[in-house]
Amino acid sequence: MAEANAGAGTATAAGPAEEVLAEAGLRLEVDGAVATVTLNRPERRNAMTFATWRGLAAIGRSLPEGVRVVVLRGAGPSFSAGIDLSMFSGEGEGFADGSDAAATDRFIAELQEGYTWLRRPEIVTVAAVHGHAIGGGFQLALACDIRVAADDVRFCMKEPALGLVPDLTGTKPLVEIVGIGRALELCLTARTVHAEEAARLGLAEIVVPRDGLDAAVAELVASLLAVNPGAAVATKRLLWEAPQNTLEQQCAAERREQIGRLRELFGK
Ligand code: ACO
């Protein structure tokens, strides 16, 4: 299953093939219930290529079953400088140019898969963000359940300044977190949000000094793993449903999830 889904090459026990990860500029470490995905092109500030997004999707498809928490982090001075700008100058694989709308739609949907799996209820995803998180990098942080930021963090939604829209799943969480007015202001000015404002806006749940980021993430992960696994899955499902549901629907969802919990706890 993992092999079939992980892309070209032979899948390792813990995910996609090493060559798929290397081409994607990603590192994957699985340690029991915790998987750590590192954006690993520090010399390019972890700029992302199509291979990066496909690699992320491959990790999502082949994640070992016992993994409960996934941490995303960046190697070097920045979390990610967003899309690799060399792709605009025609180096490497070209863009779908939009002339075939259906093909472009499929192309972007495939790249978005690199982000959407982070919302699966079976895992809790944590972005450990430091330095720049620009464009696709900002959207990757937004795709995670929880963001822990270093005090040197700089979020920026750069796409509109480049004539594009943010299309890596980021617009929905951005609006849900900061509201439409602030989301418009951030996107249409492409301005940078620093740590203090990020905390105030709810773009980061936790902000710590740069040299305390790893320890803060480790502490959070330990707390997340201390919770009953079934309760964690059910609660994540419930909370992510809440914004779309009416109160009535949400009450029904709470009852449904609790029945599942009670059955498991009391062995019925
Ligand atoms: N694509 C390709 N290469 C990049 C990118 C990128 N997005 N970002 C940085 N690099 C490269 C630089 O070209 C440089 O390469 P070099 O050493 O061969 O000259 C190296 O990474 C280091 O970059 P510096 O600019 O020297 O690093 P610094 O820490 O001073 O600045 C910063 C980092 C702010 C991220 C800056 O590099 C930058 O603004 N990058 C472009 C960000 C951007 O516009 N991204 C697109 C977002 S839109 C989207 O994602 C869809």
Determine the pLDDT at residue 215. 98
Residue of 40, 45, 193 with the most ligand 1 atoms within 8 Å of its CB, for mutation: 45
Positions of the chain with pLDDT under 70? 1-14, 90-94
Nearest to 73 by CA among 12, 33, 27, 117: 27
DSSP secondary-structure letter at 173?
H
Nearest to 126 by CA among 200, 57, 35: 35
The runs of H, that is alpha helices, within the chain are: 2-5, 18-24, 50-62, 101-116, 136-143, 171-178, 180-189, 195-201, 213-226, 229-241, 247-265
Determine the pLDDT at residue 166. 98
Q: How many whole angstroms from 162 Cα to the centroid of ligand 1?
A: 14
Residue 40 to residue 51: CA distance in whole angstroms = 13
Token readout for 181 is: 């007015």
Residue 179 to residue 81: CA distance in whole angstroms = 24
Token readout for 102 is: 């259906």
* SS3 state of residue 111: helix
Amino acid at 203: L
Q: CB neighbours of 208 closer than 8 A, spacing ≥ 6?
A: 148, 149, 150, 151, 215, 216
Determine the pLDDT at residue 131. 98
Assembly ipTM:
0.98
Q: How many whole angstroms from 130 Cα to the centroid of ligand 1?
A: 15
Q: How many whole angstroms from 237 Cα to the centroid of ligand 1?
A: 36
Q: Annotate 131-162 with b (16+ C-beta within 10 A) or e (fewer).
A: bbbbbbbbbbbbbbbbbbbbbbbbbbbbbeee
Q: How many whole angstroms from 220 Cα to the centroid of ligand 1?
A: 30
Beta bridge partners of 34: 31, 69
Q: How many whole angstroms from 246 Cα to the centroid of ligand 1?
A: 43
Protein residue with its CA nearest to atom 32 in ligand 1 = 81
Protein residue with its CA nearest to atom 20 in ligand 1 = 44
- Edge to edge, the sheet with strand 154-156 lists 132-134, 154-156, 192-194
Token readout for 197 is: 């404002």
Q: In angstroms, what CA-CA distances link 147 with 31, 47, 70, 206, 229?
A: 21, 19, 12, 7, 21
Beta bridge partners of 37: 28, 72
Residue 31 to residue 12: CA distance in whole angstroms = 14
Token readout for 232 is: 């964690």
pTM: 0.94
Q: How many whole angstroms from 65 Cα to the centroid of ligand 1?
A: 36
Protein residue with its CA nearest to atom 39 in ligand 1 = 81
DSSP secondary-structure letter at 165?
-
How do residues 81-122 score in pLDDT, each as one tens digit? 999 999 887 666 667 778 899 999 999 999 999 999 999 999
Residue 261 to residue 174: CA distance in whole angstroms = 31
Determine the pLDDT at residue 7. 41
* SS3 state of residue 159: helix
Q: Which residues line ligand 1 (CB under 6 A)?
A: 44-45, 47, 77-78, 81-86, 132, 134-136, 158-159, 162, 164
Atom of ligand 1 nearest to the CA of 168: 51
Residue 182 to residue 176: CA distance in whole angstroms = 11
Q: How many whole angstroms from 6 Cα to the centroid of ligand 1?
A: 29
Beta bridge partners of 29: 36
